[in-house]
Amino acid sequence: MSNSAENNSSTAKVSCDACPILCRISPGKTGSCDRYGNVDGKLMRMDPVILTQKVVDQNQALVPFGEQSTVWDGTVLNPETIFPTAVGAGTTYPDYKPAPFIIGSSHNDVDLVTVVTEGIFSYCSFKVKIDTDRYIGPEQASVRCQGEEVGHVITAEYGSQMLSLGGVHHLTGGSKQEGRVTCEMMMDLGNRNAVELEVDNGSKLVIKADAAPIIDGNQEERMRVGCGSATIGIFAQQWFGHVDEVIVVDEHITGMLSEHQAGRFLGMEPSGIRVRGRRSTPGRYFQVANPGHGWGGTDVSDPLEIIDRIKKGAAYPGLRLLMVSTTGEDAAYYVLDEDLNPCEESIPEVLQVVVDRIGENCEPALASVLFMAGAGGSLRAGVTENPVRLTRSVRGLLTSTTCGGAPAYVWPGGGITVMVDVTKMPENSFGSVPTPAIVAPIEFTMKLNDYQALGGHMNNVIKLEDMTQQREAKISKWNEENPWPFP
């Protein structure tokens, strides 16, 4: 950040150019974003920069430094165990000057550079994967937070409902209130706080990264083991001989054991039971019911509702029928009486074992939150005088891109469009500016000679210990689930 003061005294205001608001900050105060303040007449980033330390020796403790009273001279740390994240580093938006920190280091006798900056992103969103079969609303339906439109339902995936939240049109393309609410919602999601949402003509949701979703007041427990057809295929041999028909109720593909290829392979005869819906291939039925909160993601609470007819001559008194959902949470056992009416009875133990096994094979229901943003425009100018070279270096895998140290997936095609799991990032990695826009960390790591070749700001390369003399720093433990960014 550039500092300007009305005079040389500590009572002067300073100008902040971290974002287009261009706050004039009085002594002892912070700007609109609360991230920058006037400290003794100088513009300062108020939060410490986060360094992460890889623990090589399990008995090694994290180096306790970073408090106001602690001065670190760099002698107590092994630089090969430290990765500098951009969390708290600050920004040089609109990047007419180099990134806040360009840090040189040596790892395994290779000279490297890590460029760290907090990007200001308007073109960004969160993709939310909700592990549940429950119906949350129609595809393309608007998603609201505090009554404001903040996203929409996107294509469901196998066993999961999907949302796209945020984005430039909600941040800046609507009303001021819509932009403010969208920004707050995005920052909460990224920082792993719970967010309350409502889908038009759908459900009320409580979403928190890496936690079970709450749908219409009910906390989900399981993700389905598979569609109805897949469930038949998995457990057919375990049911064979103990039951004459199994119907696995599913909003997508309802499976019927006796007709299914798995049942025919076992030598089963068709039971004469016909379910509603559109028959796909033998033993597989589409559209047996509407989507909902009932059995297998349908609106059915009584599974017999999906039976269209029971054919005399094929069906017979005493025929044993098991109906079960794709999570095993719902199950019922019937025996046909003399009039071929299904009469419910207790589930035999041998079948209950398999029903329980369906549940055992279901993964826990979770909400996964992925941040997606385009690291383009002037952000790249903080790395190099010729921004397109950074893009090419990332494409050529010469430059590693991380967000708070977490590995970022770079989408193919033009630009540097990244996607990262927020649970892999340090806590409270996300901030905002009043534009409104999201502030998120991003790091580019490469060999020193590659950095020079792409036109990097070589005069601004500093050592790790020099950085911590310029700014208060804090060490957190490296997330061992993440690949180490240095070779």
DSSP state letters, 85-108: -STTT---TTTSS--SEEEEEEET
Q: Determine the Cα–Cα distance for residues 268 and 110; give it in Å rounded to an integer.
A: 66
Q: Determine the Cα–Cα distance for residues 385 and 131; give it in Å rounded to an integer.
A: 44
Give me the chain's average pLDDT, please. Answer: 90
Asked if residue 436 lies in contact with residue 182, where contact means CB atoms within 8 angstroms, the answer is yes
Q: Is the pLDDT at 63 greater than 70, yes or no?
A: no
Asked if residue 41 lies in contact with residue 14, where contact means CB atoms within 8 angstroms, the answer is yes
Tokens of 375: 């690291």
CA distances from 330 to 228, 232, 298, 325 (A): 13, 15, 12, 5
Give the CA diameter of the chain: 100
pLDDT in tens, 437-476: 999 999 999 999 999 999 999 999 998 888 877 777 888 8
User: Of 15, 31, 46, which one is at a domain's C-terminal end?
Assistant: 46
Asked if residue 342 lies in contact with residue 335, where contact means CB atoms within 8 angstroms, the answer is yes
Same-domain check for residues 303 and 375: no
Provide the number of structural domains found in the chain: 3
pLDDT in tens, 387-442: 999 999 999 999 999 999 999 999 999 999 999 999 999 999 999 988 899 999 99
Confidence at 71, pLDDT banded by 50, 70, 90: very low
Task: Give the three-class secondary structure for 40.
Answer: coil
Same-domain check for residues 333 and 386: no
In a domain? residue 293: yes
Same-domain check for residues 41 and 77: no
Closest CA to 32 of 476, 432, 470: 432
Asked if residue 370 lies in contact with residue 127, where contact means CB atoms within 8 angstroms, the answer is yes
Same-domain check for residues 338 and 398: no
Same-domain check for residues 74 and 30: no
Q: Determine the Cα–Cα distance for residues 90 and 96; give it in Å rounded to an integer.
A: 14
Can you tell me the mean pLDDT for 50-63?
Answer: 71
Same-domain check for residues 461 and 408: yes
**Residue 6 belongs to what domain range?**
1-46
In a domain? residue 471: yes
Terminal C-alpha separation, the chain: 31
Same-domain check for residues 300 and 391: no
Residue 178 phi, psi dihedral angles, 5° rounding: -60, -45
Among left, alpha and beta (phi > 0; psi -120 to 50; other), residue 373 is: beta
Q: Which helix (H) or strand (E) holds 116?
A: strand 110-121
In a domain? residue 59: yes
* DSSP character at residue 422: G
Q: Determine the Cα–Cα distance for residues 447 and 154; give it in Å rounded to an integer.
A: 40
pLDDT in tens, 108-125: 889 999 999 999 999 999
- Could you please report the per-residue DSSP string of 437-470? EEEEEEEEEEEHHHHHHTTB-GGGEEEHHHHHHH
Q: Is the pLDDT at 76 greater than 60, yes or no?
A: no
Same-domain check for residues 336 and 291: yes
Q: Determine the Cα–Cα distance for residues 322 and 8; give it in Å rounded to an integer.
A: 83
pTM for this entry: 0.87
In a domain? residue 395: yes
Closest CA to 6 of 21, 27, 22, 20: 27
Q: Is the pLDDT at 279 greater than 50, yes or no?
A: yes
Q: Is the pLDDT at 190 greater than 80, yes or no?
A: yes
Can you tell me the mean pLDDT for 317-342?
Answer: 97
